[in-house]
Amino acid sequence: MKKKFLTILAATALICGCSGQSNELDVAPARAGLAPPENLAWWSRAAIDAYMRYSAWSGSHSGSIALFARDGVPIYSNAAGWKDIASGQPMTVDTPVRIASMTKPITAVAAMMLVQEGKLGLDDPVADYLPEFAALRVATSHSSQADGSFSSLPASTVLTVRHLLTFSSGIGPGRGKDSALVNHWDRNGIYDPPAGELGDRVTLLAQLPLLEEPGTRWRYGFSLDVLARIIEVISDDTISVFMQARILQPLGMKDTRYLPPPSDRDTFATVYTQNSNGELINAPLPYDTDWTPGGSGLVSTVSDYMRFALMLWNGGEYQGVRILQQETVDNMRRLHVEGGVLADEDIEGLGWGLGMAVVADENATIIPDRTGDFWWSGYYGTTFFVSPETGLVGVIMSQNEPSEFSGLPVEIFIVQGLAFAGL
């Protein structure tokens, strides 16, 4: 069914008659000596080009950027639409965008670097580093009591670093507003305090009752923010300084950083959403933070994130700079949680590694992929994936916030599917 859908989509896109010519590629191969691979099929490149242009022309997206590599060598990049509609600035391949939850894999890599160095253990109790997590309680009901509180008991399972990396910590809120407790976490979670650095906000999380015992189920939430705070405690630096010194600068990710002050955001793509008439309007940006979360907050470019993705494809090394050992990358992309990832959104076939989604069954997922692929996406319409079986690595970015009138940003996955179809 996936192949049939992509064939129809490609044929439709070709009617638009776009060339599919790649923009200039400025990302070096994963390592020296790699032979130039075969490019995507001409019709696949033309279909990607046509679809990206149509998406902007039709107003479903303001603009988008895509970059693909094959067997460690970048082969195709493209940009279409608008960086800012009002001023008429076009989207380009080097336009910085907010990558939101695509911060999470970078935080996970930072933690695994400390694991390699023997400074952090996967089965270490979180309370060894953050004492406020020593007396966690687990809610016995997701319904609130008369006074608004939640009945709870002391946790019977010790919360560990592994629970944070596998999103099985019991830390909320989760993807769906399906209970009073989930709503309580959503209202009182890490983004809602009016002020405070990462440490202050993580301390507040420890006071909330866990939604379930650690190790019980996969739940999307603030686990990587807690992990980032542990990295700060161990390194005696902010997560921003640690990332810059240990990952971003060594990989040449010169345009990746935490969101700067408003006066320094002119180069960023504007974030849009849809109103009730389906028209693109400026998004209110409820999570436009001035602090440094571990689960979101970075801005980046497709070129920068491709360097990070190629490092993972190449077993932890990019252009002679080793970030992780091969066995560490293998552990990160192994299925630690075999299913249930994004189940609240009726998505099947996905498991979880350490800080990233892993495709458990390509025949069950709705996303074009292969079993064993690992990936993650961001709230504003960004994604990356590494496909070990095919050798395809992709980074696709837009800046469109989902709304009740627009739904999930399926456009990025359509572009991904068109790339797979062209192998």
Q: CA–CA separation, 264 vs 136, rounded Å? A: 40
Q: CA–CA separation, 20 vs 289, rounded Å? A: 37
What percent of the chain has a predicted confidence (pLDDT) above 90?
Answer: 79
Mean pLDDT is lowest, of 127-141, 179-193, 249-263, for: 179-193
How high does pLDDT run on average in the chain?
Answer: 92
What percent of the chain has a predicted confidence (pLDDT) above 70?
Answer: 93
Residue 174 reports pLDDT greater than 90: no
pLDDT of residue 14: 46
Higher pLDDT, 261 or 372: 372
State the angle between helix axes of 302-313 and 103-116 in degrees (0 to 180), rounded to the nearest 10.
40
Residue 3 reports pLDDT greater than 90: no
2-100+255-421 domain in CATH 3.90.650.10?
no
pLDDT of residue 82: 96
| 3-class DSSP state of 352 | strand
The gap between the terminal CA atoms of the chain, to the nearest Å, is 17
pLDDT of residue 189: 85
Place 338 in a pLDDT band, splitting at 50, 70 and 90: very high
Residue 384 reports pLDDT greater than 90: yes
pLDDT tens, position by position, 34-52: 999 999 999 999 999 999 9
Q: CA–CA separation, 114 vs 124, rounded Å? A: 12
φ, ψ for residue 271, nearest 5 deg: -95, 130
Q: Which of 413, 333, 307 is nearest to 165 (CA)?
A: 333
110-235 domain in CATH 3.30.70.20?
no
pLDDT tens, position by position, 92-122: 999 999 999 999 999 999 999 999 999 999 9
Mean pLDDT is lowest, of 28-32, 167-171, 340-344, for: 340-344
Residue 199 reports pLDDT greater than 50: yes
pLDDT tens, position by position, 44-81: 999 999 999 999 999 888 999 999 999 999 999 999 99
Place 177 in a pLDDT band, splitting at 50, 70 and 90: low
Residue 332 reports pLDDT greater than 50: yes
For the chain, domain boundaries: 2-100+255-421, 110-235
Tokens describing residue 363: 């025949």
Residue 9 reports pLDDT greater than 70: no
Q: Are 383 and 368 in contact (CB under 8 A)?
A: no
Average pLDDT over residues 252-265: 92
b or e along 243-255 (b: 16 or more beta carbons within 10 Å of the residue's beta carbon)? bbebbbebbbbeb
Residue 17 reports pLDDT greater than 50: no
Average pLDDT over residues 151-159: 97
Residue 190 reports pLDDT greater than 70: yes
Same topology for domains 2-100+255-421 and 110-235, yes or no?
Answer: yes
Q: Which of 304, 247, 274 is nearest to 406 (CA)?
A: 274
Higher pLDDT, 325 or 265: 325
Place 176 in a pLDDT band, splitting at 50, 70 and 90: low
Residue 408 reports pLDDT greater than 80: no
Place 201 in a pLDDT band, splitting at 50, 70 and 90: very high
Nearest-5° angle of CA 223, CA 225, CA 230?
Answer: 95
Residue 15 reports pLDDT greater than 70: no
